[in-house]
Amino acid sequence: MALDTVYEAVGRKPVLVRLLAEMAISGQEEAVPAEQRDWVRRIRAAPRAREKIYADALRQILPRLAPIVVALRDAASDYPELAALWKEIAERRAANMRVFADDLIATGEVRPELDRDAVADVMWSMNAPEFYTLLVDERGWSPERFAAWLVEAWERLLL
């Protein structure tokens, strides 16, 4: 299929990459808003902090999402429209982690010396597709090992 045909049907590069990322996150053929995703609902409904730590969702999402995000990051230096999308996605992830941090802190189980920003920054960095790629693709970890390690790391660091 010609690239111009794809662009006409879906949109230019930023629209196409955003759609691919949203599909990878939702695991559906179309983008699903965060509040409608099953795993987000389970996390929000969980009463205890350990039940909210969602590494299993990341184990499913990151193998689909990481290649897209890493390609976007690499292309952002050459394409200003993709650089804007890269920044938007990073900022949205950070905002989502602040919401998640609030949710964890509300359980009363987060270490008292940690504030919202500290919790959000730790989670933002450690659930990054780039971090996943380093351990799984470059160091040979399985997605299952990464997910189990992430749960343990977050519990030790945050709770």
Q: pTM for the whole thing? A: 0.79
Task: Supply the pLDDT for residue 59.
Answer: 80
- Number of structural domains in the chain: 1
Q: What is the domain-level CATH number for residue 71?
A: 1.10.357
Q: Find the domain containing 20 and state its range.
A: 3-158
* CA-based nearest residue to 157, from 125, 116, 110, 117: 110
Q: For 103-132, what is each residue's pLDDT tens digit?
A: 999 999 999 999 999 999 999 999 898 899
